[in-house]
Amino acid sequence: MVMLRFQRIGRPGVARFRLVAQEKRISSKSPALEVLGAYNPAAEDGTKISNLKKERLDHWLRVGARLSPAAESLLRKEKHLPELAQAPTPAPAGK
C-alpha cells in the first residue's frame, strides 16, 4: 500500500520535510516513489507548505494511497487537501 507521508530532510536542529508517496513497509529514509511537496515548520511568511503538486496529490488519493495522520492533519490545517479527501465522514449510527 502506498502512503503519503513526510520524509525528514535537513541538518540536525533545522528540520524540514518532504511530502512523499512511498510504500508503507519501506523505511521513510528510502527513496520515494514521488516527491509531492515540501514543509518548512520554521517558515515565518505564512507559507509553510511549498511546491505542493496538488494534481499529483489528488491522483495518489484517487488510486488508493493513504495519508499518514501527520500529513492529513497538516494538509487539513493548511487547507491544501483536494475536494476528494475533504468529503465529510458519515456520523455513526444513532443511539
Query: Within the chain, which residues score under 70 in pLDDT?
Result: 82-95
What per-residue confidence (pLDDT) applies to 83?
56
Nearest alpha-carbon partner for 54 in 22, 30, 19, 87: 19
- Please give the C-alpha separations between residue 4 and each of 14, 27, 91, in angstroms, as whole numbers: 22, 13, 25
What per-residue confidence (pLDDT) applies to 16?
92
- In one letter, which amino acid is 46? G
Give CA–CA dist 66/60, Å, rounded. 8
**Is the domain defined by 2-77 classed in CATH 2.40.50.140?**
no
Nearest alpha-carbon partner for 70 in 45, 41, 32: 41
What per-residue confidence (pLDDT) applies to 95?
52
Q: What is the number of other CB atoms lying within 10 angstroms of the CB of residue 51?
A: 12
Rounded to 5°, the CA angle 54-55-61 comes to: 90
All structural domains of the chain with their residue ranges? 2-77
